[in-house]
Amino acid sequence: MKKILLTFAAMLSFSATTLAQSITILENQVVVEDGYEYEVGKMALAISPDSKYVCGSTDSYQGFIINWKDNDTKYLEPEEGCELRSVSNTGVAAGYDGSCAITFDVDGTKTVLSDTGMANAITSDGTLVVGNLLENSWYQKACYWKNGELTMLPEPTAEEVGFNVNGAAAYYVSADGSVIVGYVVDDMSSYPAVAWILGEDGTYTVNPICKGYFTADMEDETIPYVEFRPSGVSADGKYVALSVRTTGYCSNMGRYNLETNTLEVADFELNYMLNFTTSGIANDGTMVGYCEDWSEGLMYGFIWKAGEASYAKLSSEYPDFTNLAAYDTAGHIPTFISPDGNYIVGWGYNPETYYCESYVLDRNLATGINTVSDNKEVKEVARYTIDGAKISTPTKGLNIVKMSDGTTKKVIVK
């Protein structure tokens, strides 16, 4: 009896661990045009610091914001082609529509910040937007808008960074606006990273974090990287996510600590056939991104956890969610991780339908497999076995049924 009870306790423990994570698929729009029905795929690009809102673009060049837990999506019909790149806790997203830097909120209001520029990131309270203006249609000038008022950021000098400067852009911002991260346009257009730090006087000064790590001279072997490109800043302003490439042309990922001005790179055997691109970083330094594996013809998502020497495939870390492995075969890009590391957002191509699908991966909280739908009529939209395999008809055993309102229910089929 004691052995049976211990076994049952172990089963309960395993079940609790297994069911502590979930994945929510953001259901695509279904459009009927001239009698033809097709899906408009979502590409999720960011999640708000409080994890309430997700923003991005569609493959029809719309922008969107979704309150993914309440199943409420707002679309921005573009004038020329739109991308919403960052979203605040207040439901305001920053991005661009054609050549215009814009914000767009959950009430459906679009605000043009500049008619020649890009808005790239926004603070948690929605009051500060960072981006760049375009001068003479090509020269990038880093800037920010505070409550809609434009201010130019100081351009890094050649003396500060150690190479020629042909402009700069601000791409990422900490939750409180104290740290802005972007890049310098060098002669090779490899976009090495710089930061701007807010001082007590309310102005920003340049921190040339690429200096000593990046060289624009590919023959200079005394400096390690010919690519030192930023891909995010943690919400607390401590870490910068980087994609780095050695003078031997091997790709890697880097984590730069702004408090200590030190760089950490992942420890694995570099391979010319693997091209890593980082895309987001949590407050503890956990990073996500994607790898193009040219030897296998794959593009898979990865996670590099804080405190670990190297990365792991996202699909290997969460094998119960078989759609992640399916995305890996057709193209999979995790794009963002929440400040607390609980949520990862991204998108991938469904190899069966060839449509783009977006997801929110909950690493800790909810259970099961959920679907957020734009359709308010509640109906069954899909059915899965307990191990996440999709089925078309009820199958003996425990079935997980997805409903169009985002809820799930467990059904035992005898």
Q: What is the pLDDT of residue 383?
A: 79
Judged on CB neighbours under 10 Å (0-12, 13-18, 19+), 273 is exposed
Edge-to-edge strand order for the sheet containing 149-152?
117-122, 128-135, 139-146, 149-152
At residue 176, what is the residue type?
A: D
Rounded Cα–Cα distance for residues 161 and 256 (Å)? 16
Token readout for 409 is 């229910």
d(CA 281, CA 240): 7
8 Å CB contact between 389 and 58: no
Q: Are 283 and 294 in contact (CB under 8 A)?
A: no
Per-residue pLDDT of the chain (414 residues; tens, 9 = 90+): 333 333 323 333 333 334 468 999 998 988 888 888 888 999 999 999 999 999 999 999 999 999 998 878 999 999 889 999 999 999 999 999 999 999 999 999 999 999 999 999 999 999 999 999 998 878 999 999 999 999 999 999 999 999 999 999 999 999 999 999 999 999 988 999 999 999 999 999 999 999 999 988 776 778 889 999 999 999 999 999 999 998 777 899 999 999 999 999 999 888 889 999 999 999 999 999 999 999 999 999 999 999 999 999 999 999 999 999 999 999 999 999 999 999 999 999 999 988 999 999 999 844 445 545 544 455 677 777 756 677 878 876 666 777 665 555 555 454
And the tokens for 24?
């929510």
HEC letters along 305-342: CCCCCCCEEHHHHCCCCHHHHHHHHHCEEEEEECCCCC
How far is the C-alpha of 400 from the C-alpha of 414, rounded, in Å? 14
Contact yes or no for 323/329 (Cβ under 8 A): no
**Do 27 and 13 meet the contact criterion of CB atoms below 8 Å apart?**
no
